[in-house]
Chains A and B, each alone.
Chain A
Amino acid sequence: MKILVVDDEQDVRVLFEQRFRKEMRTGEMEFAFAFSGEEALVFMEQHNHEAVLILSDINMPGMSGLQLLEKIKQHYAAPPPIVMMITAYGDEENFNTAKRLGADDFLTKPVDFISLKDKLKSITT
């Protein structure tokens, strides 16, 4: 299963590669990285339906995570990829907007990788 991680922080890639090193080695999970909403859309365009799960930060320069969410849910209707939003501000407004736009889950930073791993495994199996 392919997972697309969208975050403007470059080090997120290194972090995920280490956190999921076992899953990546066994081929259980496959990760792709985009550093902005725009980049994520380009990836989606090029790798149609490859990513079944998208993990996106909300606060990014340019296109925000919520705008990205809206676009994905509009353009990739069948079957829609699972989108999980991550934000540093665990506020109600962001949560509600994300829910309204069809986000499947909502995570707050700092990300608890153990529970994230469990969530991802339950989805992929």
Chain B
Amino acid sequence: MAKPAYQLLLFSLLLMSATSMTFGQDKELDSLNNSLHKFSLQKNFEADTNYINTLNALAFKLAYYKTDSAILLGNKAAALSKNISYPFGEAEAYKNLGLTYNVRGNYDSAFIVYKAGLAIAEKNHLAATAGRIYHNTAIVYTNLGKYPEALENYFRALKMREESGEKLGQSSSTNGIGTVYFLEGKYGDAVKYYTKAMDLAKEIDYKRGIEAGYANLGEVYYRQGNYDAAQKNLLLALEVVKVTSDLETLAFCKNMLGSIYLKQQKNNDAIREFMESGLVAEELTSKEYKSRSLIGIGQAYLNMHKTDSALFYVQEGYKIANDIKFIELLRDGSEILSNIYESKGNDKQALFYSRQFKIFADSINNQQAQQVTANLTADYEYSKKELLLKSEFENKSTRQRWIIFSAFAGLFSSLIVVWLVYLSRQKEKRTNHLLQQQKTEIEKQKTAAENALSELKAAQTQLIQSEKMASLGELTAGIAHEIQNPLNFVNNFSEVSKELVAEMKEELATGNTQQANEIADDLVQNLEKINHHGQRAADIVKGMLQHSRSSSGTKEPTDINALCDEYLRLAYHGLRAKDKSFNAKFETAFDESIGKVNLIPQEIGRVILNLINNAFYAVSEKAKSLTPDTKGYEPTVTISTKKENDKVLIKVADNGSGIPKKVLEKIFQPFFTTKPTGQGTGLGLSLSYDIIKAHGGKIRVETKEGEGTVFIISLSLNDTV
């Protein structure tokens, strides 16, 4: 989670502590400029220490935002001081120049002028100035991550300030020592020095020192996981902020509190604190704090599983972090974004941000590794220097050799440590790279498999539809024939009835009522025939519509015998229409006691049609393969129904060639067909099997090679109506 980079805040706090950068400053600058102008009207003003002091004061004011002017003024003050041998002016001028170079990030120049200033200050026992310079030097070393040097300078500054009795300075330097320990991860020492700095600030009621002390302690306790203590100190810091109105500390404390509440799963509290810190950040125009706050709010919403809100806030925060290239925030933001997308099921984005997270985390780890290496080297240099210094006061010769030996031993062991750190980082990198590769590969294969699956599903749907259409196509010819016949009867019987009416009129005219009555009887019979055949045609159309309907129908009480008969005729005529040479005998043996069975007629009809088609195909294949010797073969298909206890059996038998054993076990598999390519979909029996299963029934097959095959459907009669 977000780790506030307090050190930055702290430095600016400390640097600013001597002066307040408010609107009052403009007035101060004006008055300084005015007095400079007044001095310039006097004689020999450049030899006036007051003039030099004013130059230094102005240079200090301008050090933060007009560095060119500050450098010009500092150099002038240093030169004039030298002319009149005014060490205080000269040392202060160097101190201000160092500060300006530090602001510019020009650390080498800063060290040179600080060194020059220190030499003059120490020679002339200017403890206060020396203290300030040591303190400022320590800040530069801290910025560079050279903690041992930073500590050394802070301690020297502290000693100087104790000599001069400056409490405020002592508090600042003690705070600085605490910060260095904090950065080194020595939290115990950090707490000790932060507390000491705060006590000193309290002695002189230095509000900004007190506020910084509480805020710093809050951060240390947060890092130690002591959230209660952290919260207590941050709230105390906020009490002081009420007096100082220091917005930066306010934003910092609110942000820290938000982070604490996140850790404690008090998500609503966290959102409130982050919101407030975000508002303050807005006022401060601090992009870092704004980004921190937004990301914090996003994490809180993610904890509450409000992924849309979480996404909104984290994206905003991430955008800002990207604007200011704040790696740590980019790392945290991408981690949370990855989690959000994962819980939203957006694997692609989740993967993208988890990769981003890895990149940012690596970059931070590398920085830290470099820091560790630098610190180890610095530690070694420092201890070597310390030992050499000590040896100056002690017996040299053998002892010195021992020192040099141990120094090299130290260097050697440091190098080993550095090497080990390097090796483990390399290994980790390789492993991570490998893992990343594997993850990408798995991800790729997963996508491919998913695509293949959805394509297969689409193909399957299409195949089922085409199987339906194929069987409909087989039916169409049969249906045309079946419909043609009743229509012919309807037409013929109506035509002949017209003639009969004319005849009847003639008979009635001649008074032959007996003949007229006979004709009337015929007319009634004809009308019945017309009605019967019209009904027949209507039934066929209905059946056709039911068959082609893609939605599965509903179960209804159905006369199984009629259903079998209907589909037998349809199948027969369909095959005859397709293949003129086809012929076979068909027989029916229906058990009239069955009554009605509850089933989906078009579905069971499709099964019966399929079995009959297969049977006709089998017998016609056998008929084609016959030699003249095996004459007398009569291709026959028999469909029979039978009631057996609580079951009804439908048997479709043929006297074809039977099914070979090795084929038998595959016949219900989808896409298995013995027909030539393009003639069968291989789905007929598979679909039949599914349909019967869905009806809670069974379908089995009995076959003898060379003698024929019987398919037996058994349906439960429990549903019988």
Asked if A63 is at the interface (CB within 8 A of a chain B CB), the reply is yes
| A59 lies within 8 A of B489 (CB) | no
Question: Does residue A67 face the partner (Cβ distance < 8 Å to B)?
Answer: yes
Q: Please determine whether A89 and B577 come into contact, CB atoms closer than 8 angstroms.
A: yes
**Among listed A11-19, A47-55, A71-79, interface-contacting one:** A11-19
User: Is there an interface contact between B492 and A110, defined as CB atoms closer than 8 Å?
Assistant: yes
Question: Which residues of A lie under 8 Å from residue B491 when comparing CB positions?
Answer: 110
Flag whether A88 is at the interface (Cβ < 8 A): yes
Q: Give Cα distance in the complex from A19 to B491, angstroms.
A: 12
Residues of B within 8 A of A61 (CB): 572, 585-586
CB of B525 to closest CB in A, whole Å: 7
Q: Which residue of B lies closest to A62 (CB)?
A: B585
Contact status B488-A111, CB under 8 Å: yes
Contact of A109 with B488 in the complex, beta carbons under 8 Å: yes
Residue pair A88, B580 in contact (C-beta under 8 Å): no
* Residues in B whose Cβ lies below 8 Å from that of A64: 576, 583
Interface string of B564-600 (1 = CB under 8 A from A): 0000000011001100100101100000000000000
CB contacts (< 8 Å) of B576 on chain A: these are 59, 64
* Residues of B close to A109: CB separation below 8 A: 484-485, 488
B480 at the interface (CB under 8 A from A): yes
CB-based A-B contact count at 8 angstroms: 52
A93 within 8 Å of B (CB atoms): yes
B526 near A89 (CB under 8 angstroms)?
no
For B585, the closest partner residue in chain A by CB is: A62
Question: Would you list which residues of chain A between 95 and 116 have a CB under 8 Å from chain B?
Answer: 97, 109-111, 113
- Closest partner residue, chain A, to B485 (CB atom): A9
B496 touches A18 (CB 8 A): yes
A14 touches B583 (CB 8 A): no
Q: Majority SS of interface residues in chain B? A: helix
Is B522 located at the chain interface by the 8 A CB criterion?
Answer: yes
* Cβ-closest chain B residue relative to A36: B585
CB < 8 Å: which of B484, B533, B583 contacts A88? Answer: B484
Contact A15 B573 (CB under 8 A): no
Q: Do residues B496 and A19 form an inter-chain contact, with CB atoms below 8 A?
A: yes
Inter-chain CA distance A88–B487, complex, in Å, is 11
Task: State the CA gap A18–B491 with chains docked (Å).
Answer: 13
Whether A11 pairs with B533 at a CB distance below 8 angstroms is yes
B488 neighbours in A (Cβ, 8 Å)? 109-111
B36 at interface, CB cutoff 8 A: no
Chain A CB within 10 Å, residue with most, of B481, B485, B573? B485
With a 10 A CB-CB cut-off, give which of A63, A110, A111 has the most chain B CB atoms. Answer: A110
Q: How far is the CA of A9 from the CA of B577 in the complex (A)?
A: 18
Residues of A with C-beta under 8 A to B193 = none
Within 8 Å by CB of A19, from B485, B492, B525, lies: B492
Bound: A84/B82 CA distance, A: 142
Residues from chain B with a CB closer than 8 A to the CB of A89 are 481, 577
Closest to B580 in A: A93
Report the separation of the CA atoms of residues A62 and B352 in the bound assembly, to the nearest whole angstrom.
Answer: 72
The reply to whether B580 and A94 form a contact with Cβ atoms under 8 Å apart is yes
Task: Indicate with 1 or 0, residue by residue over B256-299, a CB within 8 angstroms of chain A CB atoms.
Answer: 00000000000000000000000000000000000000000000
Q: Given A59-B573, A59-B576, A88-B481, do A15 and B489 touch, yes or no (CB 8 Å)? A: yes
Instruction: Compute how far the CA of A42 lies from the CA of B481 in the bound complex, rounded to whole angstroms.
Output: 27
The 6 closest A-B pairs by CB, nearest first: A110-B488, A88-B484, A18-B496, A62-B585, A88-B481, A15-B492
Known: A14-B525, A110-B491. 8 other contacts (CB 8 A): A18-B522, A67-B583, A88-B481, A93-B580, A109-B485, A109-B488, A110-B492, A111-B492
* 28 interchain pairs, CB-CB under 8 A: A9-B485, A9-B489, A11-B489, A11-B529, A11-B533, A14-B525, A15-B492, A15-B493, A18-B493, A18-B496, A18-B500, A18-B526, A19-B496, A61-B572, A62-B585, A63-B583, A88-B484, A89-B481, A89-B577, A93-B580, A94-B580, A109-B485, A109-B488, A110-B488, A110-B491, A111-B492, A113-B495, A113-B496
